[in-house]
Chain A
């Protein structure tokens, strides 16, 4: 899922979350000749009820009014705005929901949503860390309420903790949130400590793996094997949503961990294998962070290639079953 209108959200100069990111991602996929194998579709406007399932009406109204009034920031100087920011944020949500719908209706096997602005820091009533609407959180609510699923897994491997996603679901046992990120004492936003495990009925539905600055692939592989894999012993997800952030990459200055391009391929392969086993491959991956223009093309290409390969496997499986 990609839409040129995502480029309209202008964060001004010197802001890492800028439109060139998406151009780089698209170019990587295009140059590798993958476009002909993919179904590329644009974003659509979402029904407001899905956004209201996560965000307060007061916040949505405030965002809309401030944006259309031309205010340059929302809630914090990190969140730069132009007049198109609100509508772009709406489209990002709409695009992700539409991707989920297409997967649920078996029109697609899985999907990667190259969206801006990102979403995992957005709280119910507050913009944070370049995020305005919780794209992934809203998609999870859509799956719960529209499709009546009761077991959803969100995997977040952005270098920063997805505080928004966690807070929205931390008391809800039907959504498991797993995140691997740089340790909160050394990285924004300062949440996602290992003792944060969910609250009330949702106790046990949050799992955070924290990584010290300087950690590399082996550390991240170890954490994922230690903390993510056991989730599947107790929980059998019907759908997997992935918050895909490429900013733990060694060349990305937005974090201080040293993750290679290869780790990202390893990670999405592992996730796809788990998806094949548990959700019949049903998965939607949504872009969060990742800011190095020279690395994004390859990272995105590798990511989409893995999704595509699994899509082929699934089709072959279906074909052989039919025969």
Chain B
């Protein structure tokens, strides 16, 4: 899935001459933490974050006189004085997976989405990435999670999906765990149903080992190996 599907399209932006107290207010009003800075052509020239603003605020350790003076200075401070001028941006062809990995690498909470000509078309935040992941996993929908232990060989997943399909059940998602006891994997189908007893029985009859997903989370595979 591409970031364009998850991103916010109506981006709230500022220009490089926006006063930072005003920028702070915009962030508070809209409960956002990233403000792309654009030129008159909507091309990105920088990004201002709540952290940039916090760092610019006078320290509470200053005495009254110094604090007041620093506060006055703030009224003259503009976005261009404290913004990052080389923000990490992504292209519309960037996938959600890319964005998640990029977040893991950079820890930046949001990435402006920018066309090849530098024009800003959206912003994708960690929140957006989580929302999409939640949808993909199906966890916002009512259902039941199973955990099936399979041998690492071709065709096992097909057998599982076939049995679920025969039972006329709707699959929300199927996650496959890569890290499991040697030669085995854990498959987690999330089924949109309360009534999973018959499908569990059929899977067992077909020779699959079913364990409680919670047992897998507790990382105790060998007991069931």
Contacts and interface: CB of A to CB of B under 8 A. Distances in A.
B130 to A, nearest CB: 15
A188 B144 contact: yes
Contacts of B143: 188-190
A129 B141 CA distance: 12
Contact of A253 (B141, B197, B215): B197
A129 B145 contact: no
Interface stretch (A59-67, A179-187, A265-273, A314-322): A179-187
Contacts of B214: 183, 185-186, 212-214, 256
Interface residues of A, number: 26
Given A183-B214, A185-B213, A212-B214, A129 B198 contact: no
A160 B212 contact: no
Interface string B132-161: 000000011111110000000000000000
B142 A191 contact: yes
Interface of B: 139-145, 168-170, 192-198, 200, 212-215
A190 B195 contact: no
A129 B212 contact: no
Which of B139, B169, B194, B197: most chain A CB closer than 10 A?
B194
B141 A190 contact: yes
B145 A130 contact: no
Nearest to A13: B198
Interface string A119-133: 001000000111000
A190 B142 contact: yes
B213 A78 contact: no
Contacts of B169: 77
A254 B193 CA distance: 11
Contact of A186 (B140, B142, B212): B212
Interface in A246-267: 253-254, 256
Contacts of A187: 144
B197 A129 contact: no
Contacts of A189: 142-143, 194
B170 A188 contact: no
Contacts of A76: 192-193
A14 interface: yes
Interface string A69-95: 000000011100000000000000000
Contact of B197 (A128, A185, A212, A254): A254
A174 B206 CA distance: 51
In the A-B complex, list the 10 residue pairs whose CB atoms are closest, starting with the nearest. A189-B142, A188-B194, A129-B194, A213-B212, A213-B214, A188-B144, A253-B197, A78-B194, A78-B193, A186-B214
A190 B139 CA distance: 7
B195 A15 contact: yes
Contacts of A42: none
Nearest to A163: B142
B142 A77 contact: no
